[in-house]
Structure 1
């Protein structure tokens, strides 16, 4: 993969919390809200939970085991708010319903959902088992749809709610050896766009607001683990190439603080869109929702030859 194929931003990107998304700017911004974070044990998920707790939210941590969440829970508790941990396989619909019920009995109604749990198997499709490929679709796409399906009726009844789907730039480009990941993330971005349209149809916009968020280049265990030995022997290791490490320069807190900002409702004008947390959110808000939609900015789209349009 050659990053130059996709171009370079002429406006400097953010790599750490800045201006409107710093902890000081978001102090108490989510006070009184109950937020659920999936895949909260480490990396980006842990940073999201930390930022939500720091901004005043009560946080429910979801991962495969309670023990996995122990460090995240301890950090979040330092801010003085309520924090709970649940073991939940978010690909299991019954487990999701049961867990959400327990969270509501413990903390009250859920206000914010951050779908962060995700997996990546870096290998070409032809060398994959179908089960290994499909497991990525299950975790990265089915699971968010299960959690959203469980919460939307609750949000509708309460008349409000925020959903943040942690997407990826990979859902907007073609990246060999990551078919399960790019497919699932593209589907999640498209689902976010479409679900927002359904909120409009039901008169629930902007009270229920959704976002697809690229967390930036964060060197997590998933992103930095590389391919298995059989893949390395056939294709080599892209991590040996200089550009690879240059892709990962963003702190997890950048995504965490962006989630806290969106959860607060301060970014509602960007609802339904695909956002890159490295891009200054103030610039997008200054552009304005009407202009962004008219110019089809921050949406998955397709470009044809001049004279052809994507007709219905």
Structure 2
């Protein structure tokens, strides 16, 4: 029997174990079977289980990884680089346990609320997650994975509307928390997106995560010209300028950053997946990399401002 056929024995097992054949994964993700096999064989991105007859079976975690891979590819990350990103995310998530079970349960409840366009239900879940989790976990483990999955899966009917609903909801809640934290701080940093490479929500979440009792974050909007950042910094005089992007740096952007840092009177830092992907190439340069994971970015920013982190 080939992988496109139906096998009642396999189907019965799937119902009990929540495992999916390759044809179903292709339907759910839009990735054809040839590509799925290539990701497995050439890059080791996914490791499905096998039946005794050799048929591939994918778990829900495998499907989530496929969607994450699509997200990184759409952001310009080379497929050869995605494996290290997935490995890092899996390591940060840690072994399965009560916390990860709770995160999965909350994600499922969020998806159900989105299907009903239930703002009150989302608000209740948001407050519940905040009360039980750290700031980093609220976004990295619960809300943003759902946001990313919906962003990638907008080809499916209804998912674009659900993504917009969640995006608007989260932007409002994060903005409200930023307003509550708005007060003079001893140190200030400017946070700006690399042109055309970030969603507003990603910037708002990063601003919330980087801020602290000692560090205030001023967020510059999407559309801020890269060439004018030196002027903005000259007038606002921040302790550092943080550029954010989840996409790989192109040769042209790298050149523009080199010109920018030469004209700045403050240090230039890079955050997001761009920092992870460019860390080796920027080693020893005037640009410091903060990383992509919330607590790491916050810690490195504090160390850099205290003079304890070299570029």
Does the alignment reach a TM-score above 0.5? no
Q: What's the TM-score, normalizing by structure 1?
A: 0.31
Q: What's the TM-score, normalizing by structure 2?
A: 0.31
Structure with more helix by fraction: 2
Q: Which has the larger radius of gyration?
A: 2
Q: Relative contact order: is structure 1 or structure 2 higher (C-alpha 8 Å, sep ≥ 6)?
A: 1
